[in-house]
Amino acid sequence: MNYMTSLRTRAAIAIVSLLWINLGLMILRYLWGMQADPVVVLGGGAAIAAVATLTWWRDRTGTATQISTALAHAASVALLVYAFSGSPLQIDMHMYFFASLAICASWVNWQPILAFAGLTAVHHLALFFLIPAAVFPGETDFSRVVLHAVILILEAGALVALGHSLSSAFAQNDEAMRETEIANKQAGEMSRKAEAAQQQNLEDARKREAERASDTERLQFAMQSLGRGLRQLAEGDLRFRLNDRFDDTLEVLRSDFNSSMESLEQLVAELSTSARQMSEGSNGVCADAERISQRTEQQAVSLEETAAAIGRITENVQTASKRAGEAGTLVDEATKNASVSEQIVSKAVSAMTEIEGSSRQIGQIITVIDEIAFQTNLLALNAGVEAARAGEAGKGFAVVAQEVRELAQRSASAAKEINALIETSSTQVSSGVTLVNQTGEALRSIGEQVKHINDYIAKIVDTAREQAADISEINSAIVNMDQTTQQNTALVADTTKSIRNLAVDADGLVAKLAVFSVNERAMSTPAPAARAKPAAPAPRPSAKTAKPVRHAGGGAAAAAAQEWDEF
């Protein structure tokens, strides 16, 4: 707070207090007795003082407060003058206007002075024209108003000038005080800054020293760590990592070293895995190749046996062909015999036919004999009848006739028996002829079938001959296969040797890579090739590696046989 404000704050209290003192004067005037309306005077005075006091309360030294209190003072004095209406002291109360104006000048501001003067002028002019008795007692004229106005203007001007001078002086004083204060502050600030700068310099020097020592220490630490890492690398331990952080500027070295070791470890692990897989694979291939060699030899032996068997088959076929030729000869003979039998049968048939004719002639003769017997019997009967008619003379004749008749009957019955025998003989001859004819037919068909057999046997002989030729070709082909198998056996033996060398080399590679120590994690990481070809045939199980196939037991042999069958 500067001096001007302090002055105005104190003056405000006096100015506001004076408003209430004026109210007290009005009350005294009322008690003394006045013509003016007490409600207007006292109530108005209290209202004016209250509003001005509230204004001051809200803003103690503001411009509005200054102007409002000045206006309130002018109004308050006007009310006092009004309260003295009818009193000879009313004109003297006008001096209070000038006193109040001077009091309002304690604001040291032209605005309240001007407001006071303006309100007073307006008040006087208005009332002079409206109610002269309210401002001036008795008779008055405009010259009094003018005189009062001139005095008012003079006083207001003088007070404004005085206020201006005071204000300038206060302002200069305040400015000087402020400048002094600023200079003091600046000096203090400079001194504090100088001290802070010195302190800062000392701290910077200490910091630099500490940073230098720290840098040296960090550099030494980084170099020691790197040296330790390189020693581990030289000893083949790829698991080593630099876990302690380096300085920010050297951190890249640590990360590069760690990433290099990581890559190297990964690479060696993958190499190790690949070499191990290669070793396992080559061992498996070696065992397979040995089995193949073994089987190729077995195959050669089998081929030799097959060639011998085919030779025997060839001989058998030739023997069969020969037997077929002999069978053909026998069949020819049978055919010829069949033809002879046919002629004999024809002859037998002719003989039988002749016998049949002879029997038929015998039958005809017997028929004649039978007819003679019948006629004889008939004559004997007639002879008996004649003998009877002749009586005694005919008795003898009758006996002869009886005898003749019995003879005739016997002849007839004998003829009948012979006829029956000839019939039977004829029937049997006919059946004999039929049988002989059938025999001839059978012999003829046998002859024809023998001819067919002869043809078939001739064809069999031709086929057997062709088979013999084909088997000879098969035999020569098998001989060629035998030679090729022999060559394959030699090649497989060479291949087995090469693969065994490869397995030995792979084992050597594994052993050399075992010098490097890597993490289990890196070992378990699948090799890129294995990842790229997941469908590729996996190497044989480790049991196969543990027990090489060439020394494998029955289970491995069975597995190998299965593989061979698949092959």
Contacting positions for another protein (CB under 8 A) = 4, 35-37, 39-41, 43-45, 47-48, 51-52, 55, 58-59, 62-65, 67-68, 71-72, 74-75, 78-79, 82, 85-86, 108-110, 115, 119, 123, 126-127, 130-134, 163-164, 167, 171
Q: What minimum distance in Å lies between the beta carbon of 187 and another protein?
A: 28
Our CB check for another protein shows the closer of 44 and 229 to be: 44
Neighbours of 221 (CB within 10 A): 15
C-alpha to C-alpha distance for 539 and 545, rounded to whole angstroms: 10
Our CB check for another protein shows the closer of 15 and 79 to be: 79
Our CB check for another protein shows the closer of 170 and 240 to be: 170
Helix (H, G, I), strand (E, B) or coil at 237: strand
C-alpha to C-alpha distance for 295 and 291, rounded to whole angstroms: 6
Q: What minimum distance in Å lies between the beta carbon of 51 and another protein?
A: 5
Our CB check for another protein shows the closer of 62 and 325 to be: 62
Q: What minimum distance in Å lies between the beta carbon of 102 and another protein?
A: 17
C-alpha to C-alpha distance for 488 and 292, rounded to whole angstroms: 10
Q: What minimum distance in Å lies between the beta carbon of 123 and another protein?
A: 7
Sign of CA dihedral 443, 446, 448, 454: negative
Our CB check for another protein shows the closer of 160 and 504 to be: 160
User: What is 49-90 written as a DSSP string?
Assistant: HHHHHHHHHH-SS-HHHHHHHHHHHHHHHHHHHHHTTTSTTT
User: What is 120-142 written as a DSSP string?
Assistant: HHHHHHHHHHH-GGGTS-SS--H
C-alpha to C-alpha distance for 398 and 406, rounded to whole angstroms: 12
Q: What minimum distance in Å lies between the beta carbon of 63 and another protein?
A: 5
Q: What minimum distance in Å lies between the beta carbon of 112 and another protein?
A: 10
Q: What minimum distance in Å lies between the beta carbon of 84 and another protein?
A: 12
Our CB check for another protein shows the closer of 174 and 304 to be: 174
10 Å CB burial of residue 88 (0-12, 13-18, 19+) is exposed
Q: What minimum distance in Å lies between the beta carbon of 173 and another protein?
A: 12
Q: Give pairs for 563-567: CB < 8 Å, separation 24+.
A: 563/288, 564/291, 564/295
Q: How far is CA 42 from CA 81, 137, 364, 492, in A?
A: 13, 21, 212, 143
Q: What minimum distance in Å lies between the beta carbon of 95 and another protein?
A: 20
Q: Give the closest residue to 61 by CA, choosing from 116, 18, 6.
A: 6
Residue 237 forms beta bridges with which residues? 517
Rg value, the chain, Cα: 86
Our CB check for another protein shows the closer of 119 and 310 to be: 119
Our CB check for another protein shows the closer of 152 and 387 to be: 152
Burial 190-209 (b: 16+ CB within 10 A, else e): eeeeeeeeeeeeeeeeeeee
Our CB check for another protein shows the closer of 62 and 394 to be: 62
Q: What minimum distance in Å lies between the beta carbon of 110 and another protein?
A: 6
